[in-house]
Structures are given as structure tokens and as C-alpha cells.
Amino acid sequence: MKLIISFWVFLLCISLLAQSEPERIILNLTETPSNSIAVTWRNYVKSSQPRTQILQASVSPVKDLSLSASYNADTDSVLIDSVNIVYTYSVVISDLVPGKKYAYRVGDADSWSEWNHFSTADTEFENTRFTYFGDVQNDILSQGSRVIREAYKTSPNSAFFLFGGDLVTDGLDDSLWGELFESGGWIFRTMPVIAAAGNHEYRGPDNSITKLWRPTFTFPENGVDLLPETCYKIKYNNVLIIILDSKGPLDLQAEWLDKTLAESSAKWKVICFHYPVYSIARGRDNTELREIMLPVIDKHEVDLVLNGHDHAFGRTFPLRNNELVHTGERGTIYLTSVAGTKQYELNSTFKKLHEVMMDNLQAFHIIEFSGDSMEILSYGADGELIDSIKADK
């Protein structure tokens, strides 16, 4: 009898230990990536003192542990289905040095993650490169994961991943978010992620953002007040990145966008939101979006607009006022893409504005701002280059 009880106690201990292990660890960019970064994770047993330990990367973070700083996490909880609660933790690590590599781990005294590395933005460095994905959305683990992993192999030195919305097909389905995290695996722990919200993340009451969005990520809250963590800005060295929420009120966002762009001294300006300005598929046309946002985009000579939603790939010529710019003039490039398996047929409504339109593919894009030029390299899921453009300032 004693033996049986001991066995069950042993099993209970193993189970509690597994449930207290940090999972879904992800780095997110803050407003100022040169001196801070955000980390989010979760587990199934509430941690007593959840925190992040961090120090500059060295031969042994364990031997150098006394040099580490400790940041206490904010704790939250969320019901992920009809019965199960998870505990979520987020930390914004500040006071970092620009252009340095750091090692960090998350957890508490009972259960720590592995040590992971990341680098802060280097303010001395003129180049900024990042990787963009359209909708992952469907068959996330079975066929989307290879796109994420191929993108990492193609450009392991990208500063961050940017997702353009519809990361999952049902934002309330926790298992789909699980697939996304399994797809990103340790990459999400070492390369920061930012994302725009898509319509498939709008699954809350009254068609609001899913309750899983904010516990999953820690994005800046520096945009329109009504849209915390779905409308925000980040200055990454020479590039201002603005994330808008195409399901949110457009007039408020246009006003905020106008002010934000006017105040920015960034050399390059990039905007990302889910619905395309120039739709490429399915007879769609987001006229209201174009009417409200285009005057602001044109006024401030935004360099690049990144969209998703249409489940195909399109890249325009440089445009202004809905037309191709003349040779030597500056214009905005609009790129719409898809990373997942769901595919729509192309339509020809805006074909004349596009230099390339492709359907039936899964893609990712490496975008680099260097000196006076912006280069966009587009790849298929197999890592083959399918399109490239270089635009000079």
C-alpha cells in the first residue's frame, strides 16, 4: 500500500513540475529596442515569484549569475477553454545597452527556462533588416512552420519577425496559438516578434480582439488609446515601424498616424496593417481604408506598406495618389503576402499598379534598409527567390 501511495505522490510531483514549466516564451519589441525588450510566457501553476534573469552574454551565464539583473513579471490569467486556466507573465526589461548581446531565462525558483540570447538594436548601425510574413492562419504547424523556419535560415540576422495578421484562423482557439508557438519554437525566444491583428484575431464579444491576444504578446501601448497592443509604433534605428489595426476605427488611427509621422525624424517609414490598400484577390476592394489612409501615407511619403488578408502575393511599383510615380520621383511600395496554405485567386482590379502578382504560394520577405536604399527580397516556402526590388531614397 505504502508503495502505491508513494508512486502516486511521485506522479503528482512530476505532473506539477511539468505544469509549472514556462512555455510559449516569446520576445517582443518595445518602443525603444536599443535599450529595452519585452518577454512573455505562461504555465499552468501560478508562479510565486515569476521573473526574468538577464545578463550580457558570456561564456557561462550560470557562472556569471551574480552579474545578472532580475526583473519581476506582471502576472495575469486567462481561461483558454471551458475549464482550463493558464497563468501568463510579462516583463519589460529596461536599462539595456545598445548593440549588445544578452542572455536571459524566465521562470521562478522552482522552474526555469533554458538560457536564450537576443541583441539590442545598435544605434551606431545604419542597417536595419527584418522578416515579414502575411497570414499563417491555416495548417499552421503542418505546413506554415516550414515557412517560418526557412525564413530564419535565410536571414538569421534579421532584427525581428513581423506578422501581418491572421496568425491563426480562430483567435479564440488556444490550440492554434500552440501550433504557432511550436512552429516558431526557440526562434521566438531569440528573435523578437511583432504583429498586426487580423480579422481572424477578432473573435471576442461584439467582434472585439480575442482575449488571447494580450496575454500572448507584450506589444507597446503607445498608439490610439482604444487599441492597446494592436496599434503602436516602434523606432528601430533608422526605421519607424507603425502597426495599425484595420478592424479598429480608421479615422482615429489616421489622425494618430498623421501626427506620429509628422513628429518622426526616422529616415525610413514602414506601416503594417492587415487589410490591403490595393486588394489583389477575390474581387475585394477596401475603399474606405484607402480613402482614409492614403492621403496620410502620401503626405508623409511612407516608404513601404505591408498587408495580408488576400492570401496571395503582390508587390506594387512605387505609387502616389493611386498612380505610378514618374522615374526619379519617390513613391510608396505596397506589399501583400501570405505565409500559410489558404489561397485565393487573383483579381485584376489593381493589376496595373503591381509589378508582380502571384497566387498559389507560401512566401516570406526579407526587407533591409541600408544607407540610402531599401531592398525587398521575396522568397517562396522552398527558399527560392521569387521577386526583388531595390528603391533608393
Q: Decide whether 52 or 169 has the Cβ nearer to Fe ion.
A: 169
For residues 128 and 52, what is the distance between their CA atoms, to the nearest angstrom? Answer: 27
Tracing cell 489558404 back to the chain, one arrives at 342
Distance from C-alpha of 302 to C-alpha of 104, rounded to nearest angstrom: 36
Which CB, 39 or 136, lies closer to Fe ion? 136
Least distance in Å: CB of 188 to Fe ion?
21
Residues lying near Fe ion in the complex (CB under 5 A) are found at 135, 137, 166, 198-199, 309
Which phi and psi angles does 256 have, rounded to 5°?
-65, -40
Comparing CB distances to Fe ion, the nearer of 119 and 169 is 169
- CA–CA separation, 85 vs 181, rounded Å? 18
258, 259, 165: which is closest to 213 by C-alpha? 165
User: How do beta strands 37-43 and 161-163 pair?
Assistant: unpaired
Work out how close the CB of 194 gets to Fe ion at its nearest, in angstroms, rounded to a whole number: 18
Q: What is the closest distance, in whole angstroms, from the C-beta atom of residue 91 to Fe ion in the complex?
A: 31
The SS3 assignment for 83 reads: coil
DSSP letter at 380 equals: E
Nearer residue to Fe ion within complex by CB, 24 or 200: 200
- Residue 137 CB, shortest distance to Fe ion, in Å, is 5
DSSP 142: I
Rounded to a whole number of angstroms, the minimum distance from the CB of residue 198 to Fe ion is 4
DSSP letter string over 312-360?
SEEEEPSEETTEEPPTT---BEEEE-B-SS----B--TTGGGEEEEE-S
- Give min distance, CB of 146 to Fe ion, in A: 19
**Closer of 61 and 134 to Fe ion (Cβ):** 134
Residue 169: CB minimum distance to Fe ion, A: 8
Min CB(281)–Fe ion separation in Å: 10
Shortest Å distance, C-beta 362 to Fe ion: 13
Q: Which is nearer to Fe ion, 33 or 164 (CB)?
A: 164
DSSP state at residue 169: S
**Are the beta carbons of 310 and 335 closer than 8 angstroms?**
no
Residue of 296, 305, 167, 159 lying closest to 235 (CA atoms): 159
350 C-beta neighbours (distance < 10 Å), count: 21
Evaluated on CA atoms 297, 237, 370, 335, the torsion sign reads negative
Least gap, CB of 60 to Fe ion (angstroms): 45
State the Cα angle at 215 between 77 and 31, rounded to 5°.
Answer: 140
- In the complex with Fe ion, the residue whose CB is nearer, 89 or 202, is 202
Looking at the Cβ atoms of 71 and 133, the one nearer to Fe ion is 133
Three-state secondary structure call for residue 248: coil
In terms of Cβ atoms closer than 10 Å to its own Cβ (0-12, 13-18, 19+), residue 277 is buried
Name the residue nearer to Fe ion (CB basis): 257 or 312: 312
Cβ proximity to Fe ion: between 320 and 342 the closer is 342
DSSP secondary structure string, 21-69?
S-EEEEEE--S-TTT-EEEEEEESS--SS-EEEEEE--S-TTTTGGG-E
